[in-house]
């Protein structure tokens, strides 16, 4: 329970208003265990709620039901978002979680 609260705290600290729709972001998801899925940093052309729903649907289609996905509010500075993504990955690594990178066109960093 403490680990989940800590995860939410980290993402809340790097998150901002829920209505931003431009800039750069990434997403993180977990399904109640030690497996964590993380995207690369990509242009945020959809709102956060849609991105989170898309990641949950992507994982469900690959046999990971009940995932909780979170995407920080987009930032104009890509470097700042890359640093936040690195911090999130490092945080989960320190907790002993297994990180899985998400490679899919919906979260393509080259767009």
* Interacting residues of 13 by C-beta distance below 8 A, sequence separation 6+: none
The range of the structural domain enclosing residue 8 comes to 2-107
Angle at 55 between CA 96 and CA 23, to 5 degrees: 100
- Residue 75: the pLDDT is 95
- Residue 105: the pLDDT is 73
The structure's pTM equals: 0.76
Q: pLDDT at residue 41 above 80?
A: yes
Percentage of the chain modeled with pLDDT above 90:
67
For residues 16 and 80, give the distance between their C-alpha atoms in angstroms, rounded to a whole number. Answer: 13
Q: pLDDT at residue 53 above 70?
A: yes
Q: What would the two tokens of residue 74 be? A: 């987009």
Overall number of domains in the chain: 1
Question: How does residue 103 score in pLDDT terms, banded at 50, 70 and 90?
Answer: confident
Cβ–Cβ under 8 Å, residues 7 and 91: yes
């Amino acid at each position: 329970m403490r680990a989940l609260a800590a995860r939410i705290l980290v993402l809340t600290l790097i998150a901002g208003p829920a209505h931003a729709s431009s800039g750069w972001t990434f997403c993180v998801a977990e399904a109640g265990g030690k497996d964590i899925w993380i995207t690369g940093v990509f242009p945020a052309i959809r709102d956060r709620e849609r991105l989170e729903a898309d990641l949950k649907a992507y994982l469900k289609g690959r046999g990971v039901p009940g995932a909780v996905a979170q995407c920080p509010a987009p930032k104009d500075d890509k470097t700042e978002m890359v640093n936040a993504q690195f911090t999130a990955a490092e945080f989960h690594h320190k907790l002993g979680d297994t990180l899985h990178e998400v490679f899919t066109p919906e979260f393509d960093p080259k767009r």
